[in-house]
């Protein structure tokens, strides 16, 4: 356990995805910019090879850091956020990936990030988080929780209960429950609506439903959603959390709003919709180039 030194008014935590930030070239630049302004930086120990005198385990860094800066894409942001969410440490992402819906800065303009942080010209955007109860074991999801048939050739039948009442029965590949943050991720690819991050809501979307009626359902964040395995040929199905953590169940999963929050640092004046347009135009441009 490390403690914030007396007289130090700000500590910046740094996590680098070593597959994105090769040899920590960009994170080294950022640390140099902050330390050149008298700001202490502590780097997560996955990069200890590149920061031998200035690293600590991620949990220790999160406990003393005023802001955790993450080098990577949206997947890296979710990975770090899930690990340190108990400490409520705000996270700012430097985009080293392709999409960057959650990231806020670019590696070619890090001086702008440093200036905003040092001069307190940033806001904290607290996002809703889900809690998944799987056979009595609880997990946190920032984007989504899905119940799916995994690699089986059979479809799966899932009963959807909202606050204890049957809302739908889905036959298909599975069902997603997502947050507004997750509505621009896997859920959108499955035909879900895009939800404003500030909404107090959850969205339920069928994955490749074998029906003509299935439509996304948006419910209050005070609701409890139960996805229950129903008369399936499968004995075991998969619960996938934020596209990474995969568990097995023979029953289903209960999803509700967590009392935790995902704290994002915002330095840009662009709102959610302008970012959405920019990202969508980027995707459309790529698709036109391929055509």
pLDDT at res. 181: 95
Binned at pLDDT 50, 70 and 90, residue 289 comes out as: very low
**Per-residue pLDDT for 1 more than 70?**
no
Instruction: Please give the positions annotated as active site.
Output: 74
pLDDT at res. 56: 96
Domain containing 189: what range? Answer: 130-258
> Scanning the structure block, which residue is given the tokens 């935590």?
13
Tell me, yes or no, whether 205 and 253 share the same domain: yes
pLDDT at res. 37: 94
Tell me, yes or no, whether 139 and 254 share the same domain: yes
What are 178-226's pLDDT values in tens digits?
999 999 999 999 999 999 998 999 999 999 999 888 899 999 999 999 9
Q: Residue 5 domain-assigned?
A: no
pLDDT at res. 141: 97
Tell me, yes or no, whether 86 and 198 share the same domain: no
> Which candidate, 223, 241, 224, 209, places its Cα nearest to that of 143?
241
Higher per-residue confidence, 183 vs 236? 183
Tell me, yes or no, whether 134 and 52 share the same domain: no
pLDDT at res. 7: 47
**Measured between alpha carbons, how far is 290 from 288 in angstroms, rounded to an integer?**
5
What are 17-34's pLDDT values in tens digits?
999 999 999 999 999 999
Mean pLDDT value across residues 225-246: 84
Higher per-residue confidence, 184 vs 276? 184
pLDDT at res. 130: 98
Mean pLDDT value across residues 51-65: 95
* Range in 53-62, 172-181, 282-291 the model is least confident about: 282-291
Q: Residue 79 domain-assigned?
A: yes
* Range in 66-70, 80-84, 147-151 the model is least confident about: 147-151
Query: What is the domain-level CATH number for residue 207?
Result: 2.60.200.30
Q: Are 71 and 105 in contact (CB under 8 A)?
A: no
Count Cβ atoms below 10 Å from residue 279 Cβ, excluding itself: 14
pLDDT at res. 211: 87
Q: Are 162 and 219 in contact (CB under 8 A)?
A: yes
For 278: left if phi > 0, alpha if psi spans -120 to 50, otherwise beta; the answer is alpha
Residue 67 is classified by DSSP as: E
Tell me, yes or no, whether 114 and 23 share the same domain: yes
pLDDT at res. 147: 95
Query: What is the domain-level CATH number for residue 86?
Result: 3.40.50.10330
Q: Residue 1 domain-assigned?
A: no
Q: What separation in angstroms does the CA of 279 have from each of 131, 180, 213, 216, 287?
A: 28, 17, 30, 23, 13
What number of helices (H) and strands (E) belong to the chain?
A: 6, 18
Binned at pLDDT 50, 70 and 90, residue 277 comes out as: confident
What are 77-109's pLDDT values in tens digits?
999 999 999 999 999 999 987 767 888 888 888
- Give the count of domains, the chain: 2
Q: Residue 6 domain-assigned?
A: no
pLDDT at res. 287: 47
Tell me, yes or no, whether 174 and 85 share the same domain: no
What is the crossing angle of helices 25-35 and 110-118, to 10°?
40
Q: Are 27 and 80 in contact (CB under 8 A)?
A: no
pLDDT at res. 250: 87
Higher per-residue confidence, 89 vs 237? 89
Higher per-residue confidence, 92 vs 155? 92
Q: Are 21 and 110 in contact (CB under 8 A)?
A: no
Alpha carbon distance, N-terminus to C-terminus of the chain: 54
In the chain, how long is the greatest CA-to-CA distance?
64
For 132: left if phi > 0, alpha if psi spans -120 to 50, otherwise beta; the answer is beta
């Amino acid at each position: 356990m490390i403690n914030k030194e007396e007289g130090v008014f700000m500590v910046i935590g740094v996590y680098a995805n070593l597959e994105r930030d090769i040899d920590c070239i960009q994170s080294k630049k950022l640390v140099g910019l902050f330390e050149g302004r008298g700001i202490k930086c502590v780097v997560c120990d996955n990069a200890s090879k590149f920061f031998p005198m200035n690293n600590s385990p991620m949990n220790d860094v999160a406990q003393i850091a005023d802001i955790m800066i993450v080098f990577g894409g949206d997947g890296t942001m979710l990975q770090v956020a899930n690990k340190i969410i108990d400490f409520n440490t705000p996270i700012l992402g430097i985009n080293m990936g392709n999409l960057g819906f959650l990231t806020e800065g670019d590696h070619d303009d890090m001086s702008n990030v440093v200036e905003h942080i040092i001069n307190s010209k940033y806001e904290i955007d607290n996002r809703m988080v889900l809690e998944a109860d799987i056979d009595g074991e609880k997990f946190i999801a920032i984007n989504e929780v899905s119940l799916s048939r995994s690699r089986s050739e059979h479809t799966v039948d899932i009963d959807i209960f909202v606050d204890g009442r049957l809302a739908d029965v889905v036959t298909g590949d599975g069902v997603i429950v997502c947050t507004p943050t997750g509505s621009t991720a896997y859920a959108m690819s499955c035909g879900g609506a895009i939800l404003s991050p500030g909404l107090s809501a959850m969205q339920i979307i069928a994955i490749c439903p074998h029906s003509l009626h299935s439509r996304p359902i948006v419910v209050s964040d005070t609701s409890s959603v139960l996805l229950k395995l129903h008369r399936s040929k499968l004995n075991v199905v998969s619960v996938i959390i934020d596209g990474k953590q995969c568990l097995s169940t023979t029953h289903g999963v209960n999803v509700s709003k967590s009392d935790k929050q995902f704290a994002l640092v915002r330095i840009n004046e662009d709102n959610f919709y302008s970012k959405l347009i920019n990202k969508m135009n980027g995707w459309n441009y790529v698709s036109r180039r391929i055509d």
